[in-house]
Structures are given as C-alpha cells and as structure tokens.
Amino acid sequence: MMPSNWYNIVPDLPAPPPPPLHPATRQPIGPDDLAPLFPMELIGQEVSAERYVPIPQEVLDVYRLWRPTPLIRAHRLEKALGTPARIYYKYEGVSPAGSHKPNTAVPQAYYNAKEGVRLLTTETGAGQWGSALAFACAQFGMECQIWMVRASYDQKPYRRSLMQVYGATVHASPSPITGAGSKALADDPDSPGSLGIAISEAVEVAAATPDARYALGSVLNHVLMHQTVIGEEALAQLPEMPDLVIGCTGGGSNFAGLAFPFLRDKLAGKIQTVFRAVEPAACPSFTRGVYAYDFGDTAGLTPLLKMHTLGHSFVPDPIHAGGLRYHGMAPLLSHMYELGLFEAVTRSQSECFEAGIRFARTEGIVPAPEPTHALAETIAEALRCKESGEEKVILTALCGHGHFDMGAYDRHLAGRLEDYTLPQERIEQALTELPG
C-alpha cells in the first residue's frame, strides 16, 4: 500500500509555474546557484518534469517504521455533530517525530549523506520540522543544527528536548551567532522571531560551511512532492471518493501532500472534488497577501520566489500554531491558487483549539495546533451539511499530534489564549519592502 514513487504535479498543470529568480540579475536561477545549499539530486527534483520520481530503497526502508499511516473514519465525531457528512482523516502523527514532516526529512537527509554532507542546518517553527530532520539525520549519521523561532522555543520546551534527544543542536532564533540574527536582535531585542529570520540564520551558516547544506521543511517543489505519499496512500485506502479535501497551510507541504494525488485525478476529469486550504487569521498569506516575487527569508539571502506573501519583513504574532507562522506560501501552491484549483479560508486561534478539544473528546487524539485549523473547517462544513442534509464525504489530514503542545491547550482551557486580529496597515507596511 505504501507508494514506490513520489508524484510531481507540475507536468499535469494547465500552465507551468513561474521560475525562481536570481535577486541580482532577475534571471531564472540555475543548478549552480542552488548548489551551495542543496545536493544535486534534490535540485534535479526541484525542476523535474517527470510525473513520477522513484523513492530510493534506503528511504523506503526508513519509511517502513511508520508508513503506511492509518486512514480513519471519524464515526464518533460525526455522531457528536449529528451530521450526515462522512469524515475521514489521514493520521500522520504515528511517525517517530509525531508529524508528516519525516516524509521529506528522510529523503533530504539521505540525498545529502549520499553526497558526503556532514552537517544539515534548518529552521523550525513549532518544532515539528526540526524534530523530523533531527530524526532523519540520526538515521544517516549526520550532524544537525536547528534555529527554532523564539516564540516556539519558549512555548514548546519539550519539542526542543526531542530534537536534542535525536542529537541536534538547537538555537533560539533570532540568535547572536549569525549576522542575520544579530541584526534582528539589534532591531528588536525582544523579538519573538519568525520563520523568515530563522531561515536566514540557517542559510547563512550552511552557505559559509563547505561540508554543510541547508534543508527546508516546506515551500519548495521537492518538499511538496515528497509529501504526496500521504495522498497516494489515502487514494488506495478510501472506500469512497471525497467531495471535499481540507488541509491546513503554513508553507503548504501538508495540504499539497494530501491534495496533489486527488488533484491529478480532477485535472484528468475523473473526479469533481473541491479542495480547501485553511490558514491562520493571524498569518493569512493566501487570503490577504499579494502574489508577487519576494524573498523566502527575512534577510534576503534566498532566490526570489513568485508566491502569495505578506512581505518578507512581516513578523507574525506569536500564535501557538508555530508551523503556520510564515510570511509566504509555497510558490507551486500559490500558482495553483491563481489558477483557481482550490479555495482558501482563515480560522482564528480560539476556534481552532475548540475544534481540537472537540476532536480529542470524540476521536481520542489530541491534535497539534496546526491541523486544528483544518479540523475547525471540517467541523464547520459538517455542520453545514447538518443544516442542508447533504451527505458529503470530507477528507482531511491530521498532520501531527499535540502531545508537546499541552501548554497551549492549558492556556486555552484557562481562557488566556488570545485571538490576533491582523491590522491591514501591518500588511501594507511589510509589502512596501517587496523587491522592486
């Protein structure tokens, strides 16, 4: 049941996505521009025109620790809601790191180790990606350095501990050990950090260290492609085709991993499924950002990516869904959103935690804060079905458990979890700094 290939959706799109650009020349970047950061195998996958890419045997051997992951029908949630809708969820929290992130961390570590890389650097928001890469590096005997966004570093100490158990070194970002971090601290000594700043720090160290490379947990094409094992398995497991597929989006890998194999069938005219991305109201890249070329990081060290962005200088409020606190969205998903291939909505922090608690009290699994966004929308859709009498089939991805996020649930249960209403002027200010 576990797929032997990753699915690359790019050849099936009605129009190709815009290429990344070199920030100095504004010309499409080539393999040599990416070589200081990524191994050639991953660079090849980033620009691949092949519909299917074989999964190496060494990667499959590690995947077998948790794949295939279960597809579960939420009977108890359906009953509690009194809905005629049928709800299925693909549960990725059974992986060693507790989320979907090892689906790409393992192949990234494998391809780097194959090229003789000693050290991988990365950033992490909530700690899900950092945990996954630390685990993957341990499988292939590599060192791992992680810059963890300060807000999550303080809120989620046990995620930090998990990375250290796997052997990683973890820095709070912004940190004084990089130029990008030092500048951020000089501008704001109490900065909560952002994924953009943490990316700058990790990229800076990787680029300056000969036997080091950088690994990214979302956003890039090869990352989204690695995650399609989720949707490929779900297609094989489902007893009926979904009318609606719902996923949370921060950078986009979880939603893409679930949706792309189903989108392949929709683009081929085989199904009529609707796809819906759910993002935090405090960091609404799809719904309130602009589609423009922007840097993937705060310091401007990355290539220019055509994406939905709130501006690379935008620092989101310190919501507990740390994995969704990114100023931009995957360029491939941004392109597909412009093509009208899926919808996007926002949900507030408090309604997401309410959905998480409702899910835990019926289905028994405490979700990570990130997938509670998809659950909130799933519950809302199921209640709309209750009103209309529609027997919709809804599929969502429960991309991780919340066992290390109980501090956030404590705050919610105590009534101390705030909803952040993002003022338009903050977005407009950040957008003034888009590259001209």
Read off the CATH number of the domain in which 318 is found: 3.40.50.1100
Inter-residue contact 146 to 169 (CB < 8 Å):
yes
Residue 321 has pLDDT above 60, yes or no: no
Q: Establish whether the linkage from the previous residue to 17 is cis, with ω within 30° of 0.
A: no
pLDDT of residue 35: 87
Residue 322 has pLDDT above 70, yes or no: no
Burial class from Cβ neighbours inside 10 Å (0-12, 13-18, 19+) for residue 148 reads buried
* Within-domain flag for 261: yes
Helix extents (H) in 20-149 = 31-34, 40-46, 57-63, 75-81, 102-114, 128-139
Percent of the chain exceeding pLDDT 70 equals 97
* Within-domain flag for 114: no
pLDDT of residue 422: 79
- Amino acid at the residue 375: L
pLDDT of residue 298: 75
pLDDT of residue 84: 98
Inter-residue contact 66 to 94 (CB < 8 Å):
yes
pLDDT of residue 297: 78
Inter-residue contact 233 to 2 (CB < 8 Å):
yes
* Within-domain flag for 324: yes
pLDDT of residue 409: 92
* Within-domain flag for 19: no
Residues 168-188 have a mean pLDDT of: 96
Tokens of 69: 């992951």
* Within-domain flag for 140: no
Q: Whole-prediction pTM value? A: 0.94
How far apart, in whole angstroms, are the C-alpha atoms of residue 157 and residue 134? 15
* Within-domain flag for 106: no
Q: What does the buried/exposed string (b/e) look like for 37-70 if buried means 16 or more CB atoms within 10 Å of the residue's CB? A: bbbebbbebbbbeeeebebeebbbebbeebbbbe
Residue with tokens 């290390």: 404
Measured between alpha carbons, how far is residue 241 from residues 13, 27, 34, 292, 362 in Å?
Answer: 21, 42, 39, 35, 24
pLDDT of residue 314: 79
Tokens of 68: 């295939």
How far apart, in whole angstroms, are the C-alpha atoms of residue 395 and residue 17? 27
Residues 59-78 have a mean pLDDT of: 98
In 3D space, the residue among 365, 381, 406, 377 whose CA is nearest the CA of residue 91 turns out to be 365
Inter-residue contact 276 to 259 (CB < 8 Å):
no
* DSSP string of 370-395, one letter each residue: HHHHHHHHHHHHHHHHHHH----EEE
Q: Is 294 helix (H, G, I), strand (E, B) or coil?
A: strand
Residue with tokens 């959103």: 337
Residues 58-67 have a mean pLDDT of: 98
Measured between alpha carbons, how far is residue 240 from residues 25, 86, 273, 329, 394 in Å?
Answer: 50, 10, 12, 30, 10
The model's confidence at residue 430, banded by pLDDT at 50, 70 and 90, is confident
The H or E element that residue 369 is part of is helix 369-388
* Within-domain flag for 189: no
Lowest mean pLDDT among 1-5, 30-34, 36-40, 312-316: 312-316
- Amino acid at the residue 360: A
In 3D space, the residue among 155, 173, 172, 108 whose CA is nearest the CA of residue 135 turns out to be 108
How far apart, in whole angstroms, are the C-alpha atoms of residue 335 and residue 22? 19
Average pLDDT for the chain: 93
Percent of the chain exceeding pLDDT 90 equals 78
Residue 318 has pLDDT above 80, yes or no: no
φ and ψ at 313, to 5 degrees? -90, -5
Which residues, 6 or more positions from 98, have their beta carbon under 8 angstroms from its beta carbon? 128, 131, 368, 400, 401, 403, 404
**pLDDT tens, residue by residue, 225-236:** 999 999 999 999
How far apart, in whole angstroms, are the C-alpha atoms of residue 66 and residue 270? 30
Residues 341-366 have a mean pLDDT of: 96
Inter-residue contact 411 to 120 (CB < 8 Å):
no
How many domains does the chain divide into?
1
Which domain does 267 fall in, by range? Answer: 60-98+220-432
Residue 325 has pLDDT above 80, yes or no: no
Residue 110 has pLDDT above 90, yes or no: yes
pLDDT of residue 204: 93
Residue 320 has pLDDT above 70, yes or no: no
Residues 356-374 have a mean pLDDT of: 97
* Within-domain flag for 77: yes
